[in-house]
């Protein structure tokens, strides 16, 4: 085999693994979405990407393909017009791009703009990082820049407990305080969900402060007491 061909075709074992994925998807119509991530799928050649998407589409014509990637940020030139045409061809398909800081958009903005212009929805996932993006001002700037580019802020993740990353962790209560300030600064369109992957396999939960902070009986009847983003209390009928 020529070295060029070796780069273009999947290895025999990969073909076997992928075949098992396609077979599984064919047998499980209840699966509506497939998430391709980590290793970054967009580090594949265009030929391999095409082969992968063709296999998925053949198995399940309607399945939503989700591509988790950082390539538009780390290697924006990789997203050439051919790649974007491939992504477009295999819709329904959505990109989730990991972006932590507004400065990352200075290199990747054009590539992301090209995706959005081609009609490919792009969602943004951000990890809350101490000393990097742990202020409401910075995050509001990042998410406004995303909105300007047509990207949807989707998740603000509390840091996973990955070994060696503790120095990046923002304590949960501080994270919630930042999130509350962020919510007061930005429209709903620009506000991602603050979420945490529970250690030990508990799955993902959305983090929020308890907005219902009490219950009172008034002349007008029983009410719940709700707290707004600035801490002020409001009433809403309980029934």
Ligand X SMILES: *Cc1c(COP(=O)(O)O)cnc(C)c1O
Residues near ligand X, by CB under 6 A: 68, 96, 125, 197, 204
Rounded CA separation 218/146 (Å): 44
Do the beta carbons of residue 73 and residue 126 sit within 8 Å? Answer: no
Which is nearer to ligand X, 110 or 197 (by Cβ)? Answer: 197
CB of 36 to ligand X, least distance (A): 11
CB of 98 to ligand X, least distance (A): 8
Which is nearer to ligand X, 167 or 206 (by Cβ)? Answer: 206
Closest residue by beta carbon to ligand X: 204
CB of 64 to ligand X, least distance (A): 10
Which is nearer to ligand X, 60 or 66 (by Cβ)? Answer: 66
Rounded CA separation 141/102 (Å): 7
CB of 132 to ligand X, least distance (A): 17
CB of 125 to ligand X, least distance (A): 6
Which is nearer to ligand X, 64 or 138 (by Cβ)? Answer: 64
Which is nearer to ligand X, 96 or 100 (by Cβ)? Answer: 96
Which is nearer to ligand X, 40 or 197 (by Cβ)? Answer: 197
CB of 216 to ligand X, least distance (A): 36
Q: In what order do the strands lie in the sheet with 212-218?
A: 212-218, 221-227, 233-237
């Amino acid at each position: 085999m020529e070295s060029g061909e070796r780069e273009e075709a999947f290895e025999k074992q990969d073909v076997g693994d992928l075949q098992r994925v396609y077979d599984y998807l064919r047998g499980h119509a209840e699966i509506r979405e497939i998430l391709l991530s980590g290793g970054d799928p967009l580090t594949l050649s265009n030929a391999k990407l095409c082969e992968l998407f063709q296999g998925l589409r053949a198995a399940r014509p309607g399945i939503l393909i989700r591509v988790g990637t950082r390539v538009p940020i780390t290697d924006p030139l990789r997203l050439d017009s051919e790649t974007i045409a491939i992504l477009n061809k295999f819709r329904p398909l959505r990109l989730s791009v990991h972006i932590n800081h507004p400065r990352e958009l200075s290199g990747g903005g054009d590539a992301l703009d090209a995706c959005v212009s081609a009609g490919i929805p792009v969602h943004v996932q951000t990890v809350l990082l101490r000393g990097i993006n742990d202020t409401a001002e910075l995050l509001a700037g990042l998410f406004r820049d995303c909105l300007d580019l047509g990207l949807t802020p989707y998740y603000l993740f509390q840091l996973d407990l990955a070994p060696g990353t503790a120095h990046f962790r923002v304590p949960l209560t501080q994270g919630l305080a930042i999130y509350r300030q962020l919510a007061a600064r930005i429209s709903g369109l620009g506000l991602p969900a603050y979420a945490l992957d529970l250690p030990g396999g508990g799955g993902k939960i959305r983090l929020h402060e308890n907005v219902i902070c009490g219950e009172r009986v008034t002349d007008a009847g029983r009410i719940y007491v709700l707290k707004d983003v600035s801490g002020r209390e409001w009433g809403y009928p309980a029934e």
